[in-house]
Amino acid sequence: MLPVHCCQFLLFNVCVNISTLFIYFVYYSDLLSTAYYQEIKHEYDFIIVGSGTAGSVIAHRLATETNYTFIVVEAGIRSHALLEAPVLGPFFHGSLLDWQYQTVPQEHACFAMKDRRCKLAQGKILGGSSKLNNMIHVRGNLTHYQNWFHGKYAKEYIQKQFEYIENNILHLNEVQYESELANTILTAAKELGYSNLDKDFKLGFRKNIVSQKYGKRWSTSDNLESKHVITNVLVEKVIFNDNTARGIQVLSLGKHSTIYARKGVLLSAGAINTPKILQLSGIGPENLLKSLSIPVIKNLPVGRNLQDHIGTGLDFLLFNKSVSISALDMINPFHVLEYFIKGKGPWTTPGCEVIGFLSTKNQSEPDLQFMVLPVGLSSDRGSLLKNNVNLKDEIWDKYFSKSFDSYVGTILPLILHPKSRGYVIINSTDPSLPPLLDPRYLSHKDDRDTLINGLKLVMKFVNTEAIQKVGGSINENHFPSCENFEIFTDSYFDCYIKHLTLTSYHPVGTCSMGLPDSKNTVVDTSFKILGVEHLYVADASVLPTLPSGNINAAIAMMASICFESIINAKTNIPFCNKNDRIYEYLFRICFDS
């Protein structure tokens, strides 16, 4: 590196270390608070495991629309006001606020990553992965949601659920700050004949609607009152009486205990942790459970059907002048003050300014999404982002560090509906150990073809007058290990995507919703686990297929329907007063027996 680049690296690295130290401070402060001030009751009407988008939507509606008692159990810590700055999201990856999951070595992807393992960040904090994501709100294709429920709900009903959460639960705003790249891309899209999108889903582009309030990150967990949440509590398994869920076994500050549920346990721990908890509890593939000597409660395909939106193309787009956001913008004291005083400026950036939906097959329905990022992997000179994606040092040295003399941006093509399928399985009965994650990225040839065609579309965009006018060009450095292929041919791109495989952190499908006779079904269309009473799942794991876009909005909508299906459907069931001592006595006898 040149001396100026070394100075930039050192400066950025200092910022990374300061952020890391602050995360440690917040983490251990909350841990100390938990030890002295957190109270866990013996039982509640409902237990919600996980405080991510789905769990928090259901909890909020429970608190505001019913008299039921409930508790949200979160393995991570509570957030802090200083952690809500949107620009800080990447700093949480790999930190104490992240489960720090990685895939197993991939056969067809992630070659540029250490040990061929892609990182799969998932939030370990109140709010879950909504505290780490890009905050993008997109409804997607409503027809796909109808298919999830097998026609149980009309398109109009699903649309009303979106309108309800958008008007009553979420806080949505236009992007508060944008680089020159955003308007450049929209102009290029118009030049190529793409329309501007509103809420309707079709081919086209738009600036993002983001989940922010006054420029700060906003999550559905921000609706929750402290009395309804316990943190730093690891759920080890669900407790059963025959085939009926009665509560959960938890570990908090080294102490094991049991929390009982009178009416139901709702798992909302995400597409990785929900199947892990179910398998540890005896619900999953029979062969797997028996191999670990776990008593089988129900033989179901828990953990199968794992899918994810994956893409490629970091630092594929170069400029000869600044049209994007640089790391120097983030450490500029003026911009820091602008954020904290006005809720404006680069610190409000969601990391993605524009999204677009395109078809690689010239059809009316898109199979590809563009995410336009005003940064590249080399923007911070290697102080943070390259570690977030687990990049090999030699790849960094031979490719990404070569871009230091240019300004980088990214048009990230993502496969909307991948055909590759993987799995999540436990390999131990120890709840503190991570499960095995094998998404089998790019194992299906159609996915590789779609992503290759996506890169060709990126090149088509770069060749537009709009992008040429601001000095845009394609990175012509050969990607390491792909030098034997003529650059920008299909063979080269096939090598490129297998090396630079990037997740958008959208795992779904591991507890799929469906009809009882389907081979992948774990929960029915009322979110109830097949063959088990009082146990429900509501999170990304129940999505049988990926939505056509970022998943947070779809999960919030789905959680609202879950509340209607489980909670409101029970309002006609006789409910004993929670202060009835006789009822409490009988409850404990039944559950403790």
Cβ atoms of 566 and 526 within 8 Å: the answer is yes
**434 three-state secondary structure:** coil
Please check if 235 is assigned to a binding site. Answer: yes
Nearest to 54 by CA among 147, 112, 144, 127: 127
Contact (Cβ atoms closer than 8 angstroms) between residue 40 and residue 257 = yes
Burial of residue 490 (CB within 10 Å: 0-12, 13-18, 19+) is: middle
Taking a C-beta distance cutoff of 8 angstroms, is the pair 294, 282 a contact? yes
With b for 16 or more beta-carbon neighbours within 10 A and e for fewer, the 335-348 pattern comes to bbebbeeebebbbb
Amino acid at 549: G
Give the Cα separation of 185 and 356 in Å (integer).
10
- Say which DSSP state 95 is in: S
HEC string of 230-246 equals ECCCEEEEEEEECCEEE
Distance between CA atoms of 197 and 177, rounded to whole angstroms? 19
Q: What are phi and psi of 245, to 5 degrees?
A: -70, 130
**From CA 344, how far away is CA 85, in angstroms rounded?**
11
φ/ψ (deg, to 5) at 217: -55, 135
Answer whether 453's CB lies under 8 Å from 360's CB: yes
Name the residue among 367, 373, 385 with its Cα closest to residue 410.
373
- Cα gap 49→64, rounded to integer Å: 19
Q: Compute how many other C-beta atoms are within 10 angstroms of the C-beta atom of residue 435.
A: 21
Q: Cβ(410)–Cβ(373) under 8 Å?
A: yes
d(CA 253, CA 261): 22
How does 247-271 read in b/e, with b if 16+ C-beta sit within 10 Å? bbbbbbeeeeeebbbbbbbbbbbbb
Annotated binding site: which residue ranges? 235
Annotated binding site for FAD: which residue ranges? 235
